[in-house]
Amino acid sequence: MTSSRAEHDTVAYTIENRVAWVKFNRPEKRNCMSPALNRRMGEVLDELEFHPDVGVLVLTGEGESWSAGMDLKEYFRDTEAQGLAGTRKAQRESYGWWRRLRWYQKPTIAMVNGWCFGGGYGPLFACDLAFAADEAKFALSEINWGILPGGGATKVAVDLLSMRDAMYHAMTGELIDGKKAAEWKMVNESVPLAGLRARVEEVAGVLLKKNPVALKATKDAVRRVKEMTYDNAEDYLIRAQEAANSFDNEGRKEGIRQFIDEKSFKPGIGTYDLAKQKHTA
């Protein structure tokens, strides 16, 4: 049985310059996800979602791995030994925080510093943006030990990759590196490991300059409209814009004021100055 203290330590985070750096923290297990880690991750997301000092969340791994997926012993042996009730509980704990991350209040970035396998594709897809080290290794390894890529991993591959690449990736179980992951559009970019954090910090800095209400509405819109018809998406986006304006119309007004009256910025080139915006409770 995992102690509560050990469970607490399965996820670590620091807050620096309004960025929360959240780490899978089981480096001795290549940061594979256990029931304890999944429970702790839910708590960490609670702690950070409305934290006043956090504007962006970065998810990465301690040591040389991002996450090697699900802990095979704890999930596919120990949990299954508890019967269907144990399996369903474990599924709720893992899929639950991945789902929360997809619709998180703050922008999220996956910083894939090393191994990313199987179940790790759930949180990878859940993050809004993803950057990988050239040296990182990705694989849907389930086929190599006799199962299909479950837990949403097959859906992730089909959504992010072309059908042919997704089929090859899932059927062969072969490793690909960060460069190939970027070529296949599994991640936004791949850079040498030595420059990975600097690149993520740069992107986080860009996001921190944006209006947070508009960011939340935008990230939700991109995910929602993907599976809508054009007419349904058009209607949804009109309503979403109206809702965002009613919640934070001062932001919209300030951006227009700085563009039209001050002529202090151009929307196609930069971002309006948030510091000048009047914030209302």
pLDDT at position 136 over 80: yes
pLDDT of 133 strictly over 90 = yes
pLDDT at position 106 is 98
Contacts of 14 (CB under 8 A, 6+ apart): 20, 21
Mean pLDDT of 55-81: 86
Is residue 51's pLDDT more than 80? yes
Residue 1 in this model has a pLDDT that exceeds 50: no
Question: Would you state the torsion angle of the CA atoms of residues 229, 152, 219, 193, taken in this order, to the nearest 10 degrees?
Answer: -140
Mean pLDDT of 70-86: 72
Structure confidence at residue 78 as a pLDDT band (50, 70, 90): low
Contact predicate 117/142, CB 8 Å? no
Rounded distance between C-alpha atoms, residue 187 and residue 190, angstroms: 7
Highest mean pLDDT among 3-7, 25-29, 249-253: 25-29
Whole-number percent of the chain with pLDDT over 90 = 69
Instruction: Using pLDDT thresholds of 50, 70 and 90, give the confidence band for residue 247.
Output: confident
pLDDT at 2 over 80: no
| pTM metric for this prediction | 0.91
